[in-house]
Amino acid sequence: MNSSVIAVLRRVDIFAGLNDLELSQIAQLCKVAKAKKGQIIFREDSDGDDLYVVHDGAVEIQVQTRGSDGQSRLSTINTAYEGQAFGEIAMLGGGSRSATAVASMNPTTLLVINGPELSALCDTNTAIGYRIMRNFINDMIYKLRSASLLLRGHIKWQDNQLSQIE
């Protein structure tokens, strides 16, 4: 297996604690995809169960927001760089994508891991499955706390009720 793929996977938080043999099993599931700057990798509300890892380049994670003028627009909430994963929420929870992913550098190279194949590997090798699921939980907790802090910055208590800060 390509040592550069394993080197990138080694940096991915959800694969933390896995040894090189375990990472090579994950690397075998990886398919390589190239994207040009501005190319949409997936759209918010679309179906999908693949997990993406940035091999090189960068990907902006965007969500639909509504401005004070009432107009809907895409707003970047995060940027994933080399060694960072995205797409895990739809992979784990099923359902549709919670955000749009757009390549923000030219070129951007992605490792694409099919969700059902990764789940099968986790079922077959429970040591890998335990570590990945534990890391997923830690990642989701971090994202939930971050979202909670962001939300707190946009709301206030007024007459014992929540209201939007104007």
CATH code at position 24: 2.60.120.10
pLDDT of res. 34: 97
**166, part of any domain:** no
Strands (E), 2-148: 30-35, 40-42, 50-56, 58-66, 72-81, 85-86, 100-103, 108-114
* Residue 163 domain flag: no
> Does residue 95 have a pLDDT over 80?
no
Place of tokens 């955000």: 99
165 in any annotated domain: no
The per-residue pLDDT for 9 is 96
Asked if residue 22 belongs to a domain, the reply is: yes
Note down the domain range covering 90. Answer: 1-153
Q: How confident is the model at residue 144 (pLDDT cuts 50, 70, 90)?
A: confident
pTM: 0.84
Give yes or no for residue 159 having a pLDDT over 60: no
- pLDDT band at residue 163 under the 50/70/90 scheme: low
Confidence band (pLDDT; 50, 70, 90) for 160?
A: low
Cβ atoms of 61 and 101 closer than 8 Å: yes
State the total domains in the chain: 1
Q: Specify the amino acid at residue 64.
A: Q
73 domain residue, yes or no:
yes
Degrees to nearest 5, angle at CA 66 with 62 and 71: 115
Please report whether residue 164 resides in a domain: no
Please report whether residue 53 resides in a domain.
yes
Amino acid at 100: T
- In a domain? residue 158: no
